[in-house]
Structure 1
């Protein structure tokens, strides 16, 4: 089972609190009652996909995170892997460059 309304509700609650919003303030922003928001946050009510999209946008997060707890997208993982590879290439280049500098210093002092 992928969707757990309780866990999703807790994620919404955590993000809302991180943004410094009360249930009342966030409910007004979403155009729902604070009572309904409370039910969603406790896992007692299930939000529509449209409402979850609105929640994700309002809290500057993704549906993947709200529903599955996934913090990054496949594209972000791909970009992070490319960045990691480029950082390794830079480190290898720096190491080779330092070796060449050491060789030049050694030959210059002879």
Structure 2
């Protein structure tokens, strides 16, 4: 699998901005220097697997989103995934509650 580290860095920076983190705030949460995080975002450094996992956790994002630009799922239509990305946290919680109702009805 080819990893486009330029896209990876851009996606990390974009998600950081979406969540309102400054670079130094995220670096502190992930226990990195601000300089190293900047190097990851600008493709001057490649993060270790542990560092990458910590960034994913802190930015509440799956690795496939950073690596591929999409969340890979088995059989959920891409249109649903795209629409979910447009929802805020309270809307996503509500959607999750609805899904849980459907699941409990099936059991």
- Under TM normalisation by the shorter chain, which class is it? 0.5 to 0.7
Equivalent in the alignment of 1:88: none
Measured on the aligned residues, the alpha-carbon RMSD in Å equals 1.9
Number of residue equivalences: 79
| Aligned residue in 2 for 1:39 | 39
5+ residue gaps in structure 1? 84-110
The 1-side partners of 2:18 and 2:8 are apart by 15
2:98 is matched with none
- For 2:66 and 2:77, the matched residues in 1 are separated by 21
Cα distance in 2 for residues equivalent to 1:23 and 1:79 = 33
What residue number does 1:28 align with? 28
Q: Tell me which structure has the larger Cα radius of gyration.
A: 1
Which residue of the partner structure matches residue 50 of structure 2?
50
Offset, 1:39? 0.3
Give TM-score, length-normalised by structure 1: 0.65
Question: Which residue number corresponds to residue 85 of structure 2?
Answer: none
Partner of 2:62: 62
Give every structure 1 segment of 4 or more consecutive aligned residues whose post-TM-superposition deviation is greater than 2 Å. 72-75
Following superposition, the deviation at residue 80 of structure 1 comes to 4.4
Aligned partners of 2:51 and 2:76: how far apart in 1? Answer: 30
* Equivalence map 1:1-110=2 (5 Å): 2-70=2-70, 72-75=71-74, 78-80=75-77
